[in-house]
Amino acid sequence: MSGTQLIIILLLAVLFIVSALLIFLIVKYTRLKRQIPSPQLKKEYSKEELKIQAENLKETNILLKEGQAEIHQMAEEMKIQTTNLSEVNDQLERLSMVASETENVVVIMDGNANFIWVNQGFEDKYGQKYDDFINEHGVNLRDNSSNSSIASFLNQIYITGKPFTYNSKSINSKGEEVWYQTNISPIKKDKEITNLVLIDSDITELKKAEEQIKKQKTEIEARTMELQTLNATKDRLFSIIAHDLKNPFHSIMGFTNLLQENYKNINREKLNEFLEMINLSSNSAYQLLENLLEWARSQTDMIHIDPESIRIKPLVNEIIELQQLHAQNKEIKFVDSITEQAMVVADKNMFTTVIRNITSNAIKYTSQGGSISFKSIMKKNTVIIEIQDTGIGMPTEKTNTLFQLDKVSSTAGTEGETGTGLGLIICHDFMLKNNGTIEVSSNPGRGTTFILTLPKGE
């Protein structure tokens, strides 16, 4: 029933009451009037009778005045009630408009969660009329809700008597994934839950924003890790330049000064020894500079990768020849078991740098009379190259951090050779850039084996 209908009914009721009161007064007045004698008959009544009639008239006047006051009061009350009803009607109309026009889903249920009324937003969400939805899914929220925990949610509302809010994901009538926040509020009368009001709000955009924030957070964390790595790289680079790079030059400068000052007094054997030390220090400085340049280029993405099919054996033989003099000084023997057919796909310069660095490290940490062997293993789609030495080996703690720049350190070689550990960092980086892997197996006193895996060439 609308507010306007209520006002009309109330007006009719008041009019009925006023009419009844007027009829009562008229009847009362008529009766009294009949009791008043006409002027012609005045002489027939005694003074007592006239006194009684006067009293009756007085009472009638009082009743009329009271009736008029009551009617006036009723009129004022009716005016106030009419104003109140008008305000209630306006509020009801606004509430009805909000419930009907809002894009949110609004459902009114009885105390047992049976549907009574839904707004247009409900029909828009599910793409069907209310009656069709009820016929297909049932009238009770426990039956027609897609949330498997809805019965538990309702029980919580019945126990606490308080509203309950939850989020859920569903597919709308267009087949799109959407997120809704659902609020179910109880309506009570005399502490009994007589109705439930359900409101669904589309929070899909909010969820998308949350996902975007999570993504940005992940990117920021990744960027932070990258910056930390760059800082560690910077610190390590400065350490190499400040300490490791100048050591070979100190040796070169020391020996050349000694030769310059005592050239005439140095015999040929001692001279050859000094020249050999200068040569080793020069080679060490050159290799360190080369590694620094290669690493710097790889870090700034200035290095160009040009993958091609490479025959492994000729490349390994070339590196062995270049390292032969250094190995001979320690009487280290090379064993080449690379097959002629072994080929990999990689950038030739980068692959050469990897083999050269690992071979140089093997010589550095292998004692007098040791050996370094090269072996290839052919797989279906890959080739494995193993470089094994009989050197001093490494503990597990060392091998676990061998390719981490912020934890890298260098151990002196078997004859005091120095280094930075940067060469293995470059090897790891270059192998990854060529779709390969590098692993290490080592035990203290039992040597070290580097295992390289690259795509098979043709």
**pLDDT (tens digit, 9 = 90+) per residue, 358-388?**
998 899 899 999 999 999 999 999 999 999 9
Mean pLDDT, rounded, for 202-209: 87
What six digits make up the tokens of 308? 């091609």
Whether the model clears a pTM of 0.85, i.e. scores above it, the answer is no
On whether the 103-202 domain is CATH 3.30.2270.10, my answer is no
Q: Where are the domains of the chain?
A: 3-100, 103-202, 304-458
Please indicate whether the domains covering 103-202 and 304-458 agree at the CATH topology level. Answer: no
pLDDT category, 43, cuts 50, 70, 90?
very low
Percent of the chain with pLDDT over 90: 29
**pLDDT (tens digit, 9 = 90+) per residue, 412-449?**
778 777 666 777 888 898 899 999 999 999 989 889 99
- Looking at CATH, the fold of the domain delimited by 304-458 is given as Heat Shock Protein 90 (3.30.565)
